[in-house]
Structure formats: C-alpha cells, structure tokens
C-alpha cells in the first residue's frame, strides 16, 4: 500500500495542482481551512484526487477541510522532502550588503 501511495505521490508531483500543495496543505494541516486566495478549481481537484475532504458542519454553519489518509501520506512526503535553511544560513542572508 505504501509503495502504491509513494508511486502516486511521484505522479502527483508532475501535475500542475502539486504546485499549490504546499500552501493549501499547510493551511489545512494547521487550521483546517483553505487559504482565502485559493483557486476553487485547485481545491476541487485536490478533493477529487482524494487528498483533502470538505466537511460541512451544519450545527456551527462552518465548512472545514482535512487531509485524507492519502493526503496525509502525500503531505508527510512533501514536508520531509523540503530543505530548510539553518538559522546561520538565514542570518548570513540578512547580512548581505544590498
């Protein structure tokens, strides 16, 4: 199952929708919402791809979004593949003379 998801993830990275995944995945992961400026078609594609799920809370009249099991797998792969700069590297950038 993991191997299949890893293959699907590799294919997903080749799609145009994947370029929006960092911003949308981060917002859903942290706040269970989508960015205000998010393209609705991108959101729909992510829903139909089985990565996110829209949940309508009738009682509180609120809509929120969660990552599906597949979405969590993709998000974990995505986050772990990211390189981040060390504090020292960031400080060095701030020291540049321009």
List the domains of the chain with CATH numbers. 2-94 (1.10.10)
pLDDT at 96 over 70: no
Segment 51-67, tens digit of pLDDT: 999 999 999 899 999 99
Average of per-residue pLDDT across 56-82: 95
- Give 95: exposed, middle or buried? Use CB within 10 Å, 0-12, 13-18, 19+: exposed
Q: What does pTM read for this prediction?
A: 0.83
Q: What are phi and psi of 95, to 5 degrees?
A: -85, -5
Query: Residue 98: is its pLDDT beyond 60?
Result: no
Distance CA 15, CA 45 (A): 11
């Amino acid at each position: 199952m993991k191997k299949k998801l890893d293959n699907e993830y590799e294919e997903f990275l080749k799609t145009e929708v994947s370029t929006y995944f960092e911003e949308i995945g981060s917002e859903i992961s942290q706040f269970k919402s989508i960015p205000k400026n998010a393209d609705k078609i991108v959101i729909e594609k992510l829903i139909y791809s089985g990565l996110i799920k829209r949940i309508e809370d009738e009682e509180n009249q609120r809509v929120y979004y969660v990552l599906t099991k597949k979405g969590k797998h993709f998000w974990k792969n995505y986050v772990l593949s990211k390189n981040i700069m060390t504090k020292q590297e960031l400080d060095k950038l701030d020291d540049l003379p321009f």
